[in-house]
Structure 1
Amino acid sequence: MNTRPNANEYLPLGEKYVSLVPEGHIAEILQRQYDETLRSLSDLTEEQANFRYAEGKWSLKQVVGHIADVERLWSYRILYIARGDAREFSGYEREVFVQNSPFGQLPLREALKDYAAVRQSTITLVASLTEEALLRQGTFNNYPLSARAAAYVIAGHELHHMNILRDKYLT
């Protein structure tokens, strides 16, 4: 699908992410991001991967793990919606997820391996969906959510965090 979602397909806070996604076919955008993210992060040292730009901030590899975990949640929503089993989806507590994830202790290569597996699964799912399936809707935090919008949130969420990584971690 080559069209971005309409604002009535996602909650207002989703605009922060959807607006970052360039024009194009969403599955191809997800693939390009995958390639760029691995190219940008694969050669970092463990010292760089453990870097935190301020007290209380996540390490770079925790950010990578966060991207993968959030993508898992949004892909789950895409699957339910696209298959016609729309329902009310709830949010999650990101700090709890990061605190209870293994990513801070894993080598960076393992965090990237997890990210790669999740992203490849998302690409396969999104690329297989018909336009009709992408336009189906469920509800997220009392707002409509289309499968298409969820795919754009995944892409925009990664763009958001990769911008932060470039600005605060990789300078």
Structure 2
Amino acid sequence: MKQVRWFDRKFDFNYEENIFPSIVERLLGTTLRLEDKLSKIPLAKQTIKLDNEWSILEHIGHLSDLEPLWQIRLQEILAGKEFMTAADLQNTKTEQAPHNNKSYTELIGEFAQLREQTLKMIEPLDENEIYKSSLHPRLKTPMRVMDLFLFVAEHDDHHLAKITELNRLL
């Protein structure tokens, strides 16, 4: 089954109930899922690019490349900014980074450190803060703190699924 491209995804943030604790659990689990998944993929497969798309290691590196954006967006929402910082839709950082020159354990370690910083930023938030919002620059829709991190969890899962797909195809 072919996965929908990330930029073709539509998001609906119309729910009102507080699902933030479940979202945080997903964010906590990404590193463990990466470690488990990569420990089962032969090293020879991890740097192969199919159809000039990212390798398995580049998908992991991309998660680290974007983690600072999630942190900036959180700060912008909490500060009451109208718009969040836009992402680089060309993914220049990932395209230029030498992710294939690193081991999966090194890449996951870098991601784990960045994700830990993010989790420390969201841990003290109260219910009023998770309902604050700013406009997402590409989607042109209000995104609450809770929505932002659901978006992040979906982004994590998107790349985990891409890694699974690549492993299967290789």
What TM-score, normalized to structure 2? 0.77
1:119 to 115, 118, 126: 115
* Distance in 2 separating the partners of 1:127 and 1:79: 13
State the alpha-carbon separation in 1 of the partners of residues 167 and 65 from structure 2: 20
Cα RMSD over matched residues? 2.5
**1:66-105 equivalences in 2 (<5 Å):** 66-82=62-78, 84-88=79-83, 89-105=85-101
> What secondary structure sits across from 1:56 in the alignment?
coil
Instruction: Find the counterpart in structure 2 of residue 130 from structure 1.
Output: 126
Q: Cα–Cα, structure 1 residues 170 and 135, in superposed 2: closer, same or farther, change >3 Å?
A: same
**Which of 141, 146, 156 in structure 1 is aligned with 2:154?**
156
Q: 1:9 is matched with which residue?
A: none
> Aligned partners of 1:128 and 1:39: how far apart in 2?
29
How many percent of aligned residue pairs carry the same amino acid?
A: 18
- After TM superposition, the structure 1 stretch with the greater mean CA deviation from structure 2, 155-164 or 90-99, is 90-99
Distance 1:170 1:79, change over 3 A: farther
The whole-number CA distance in structure 2 between the counterparts of 1:77 and 1:95 is 17
Unaligned runs of 5+ in 1: 1-11, 17-22
- Segment drifting more, 112-121 vs 89-98: 89-98
CA distance in 2, matches of 1:94, 1:14: 19
TM alignment of 1:27-66, pairs within 5 A: 27-42=24-39, 44-52=41-49, 54-66=50-62
Contact 1:61 1:111 in 2 (8 A): yes
Please identify, of 35-44 and 138-147, the stretch whose mean Cα deviation from structure 2 is larger. 35-44
Answer whether contact 2:34 2:108 (CA < 8 A) is retained. Answer: no
The 2-side partners of 1:35 and 1:51 are apart by: 23
Deviations 1:88-130 (A, max 9, x none): 2223124422222231222222211111111212222222211
Task: Give how far 1:65 is off.
Answer: 0.8
For residue 168 of structure 1, the aligned residue among 148, 166, 169 is 166
The Cα shift of 1:14 comes to 5.1
Displacement of 1:28: 1.6
Residues 72, 170 of structure 1: CA spacing in aligned structure 2 closer, same or farther, 3 A cutoff?
Answer: farther
**Is there any run of 5+ residues in structure 2 with no aligned partner, and where?**
1-7, 13-18
Q: Hey, what's the Cα distance between the residues in 1 that align with 2:68 and 2:94?
A: 14
Q: Give the Cα–Cα distance (whole angstroms) in 2 for the partners of residues 130 and 170 of structure 1.
A: 42
**Which amino acid counterpart does residue 81 of structure 2 have in structure 1?**
A
Asked if 1 retains the 8 angstrom alpha-carbon contact of 2:56 and 2:166, the reply is: no
Query: Per-residue deviation at 1:170?
Result: 4.7
